Amino acid sequence: MIQEIYLKRAASIRKEYLSTQKKTVDYEKSLKQLVGLIDNTSKDLDDFLGKLNSNYVNDPEEAKQGLLKIFMDLESEYNITSKSIDNAEEVIEKLKKQELELFRDIKQRYPEMNEAQIRNEIQSYIDKLKLS
């Protein structure tokens, strides 16, 4: 039987994984908002092109500033979304490393156990904590 200290580490990894998984719903919403913003930006660019073609905007500096504002708004939203996703990827990578270290520690402590036995015991403990 695996010592509880190892099982608690597994449960901690699982809790953090579940928390990160819940956040992915928020990341999905952010990505959908970004897609919407890209669609709006496309419309804004079409409108701006129409203004240029109809000579409504004829000052090159004004045209440059108008385009710059459109692209800066898009870039700002992209950077926010990208940072959130990057943070999630970092957490997932950290969890993978912790999982591998835990498995290595358990295997070193209990060399007579095979992977299936280790997995079953940990899964049983996680089920008991209702972290499945």
pLDDT digits (tens, 9 = 90+) for 20-49: 888 888 888 888 888 998 988 888 888 888
pLDDT band, very low/low/confident/very high, at 121 (cuts 50, 70, 90): very high
Phi, psi of 130 (to 5 degrees): 60, 45
What mean pLDDT do residues 73-86 have? 87
Contacts of 91 (CB under 8 A, 6+ apart): 16, 20
d(CA 58, CA 56): 6
pLDDT of 98: 97
Per the prediction, the chain carries an average pLDDT of 90
Residues of the chain above pLDDT 70, percent? 100
Residue-wise DSSP of 35-50: HHHHHHHHHHHHHHHH
d(CA 103, CA 119): 9
What mean pLDDT do residues 72-96 have? 89
pLDDT tops 80 at residue 57: no
Residue 14 CB neighbours (<10 A): 19
Please state the domain extents for the chain: 4-128
Encoded tokens for 122? 């940990």
pLDDT of 81: 86
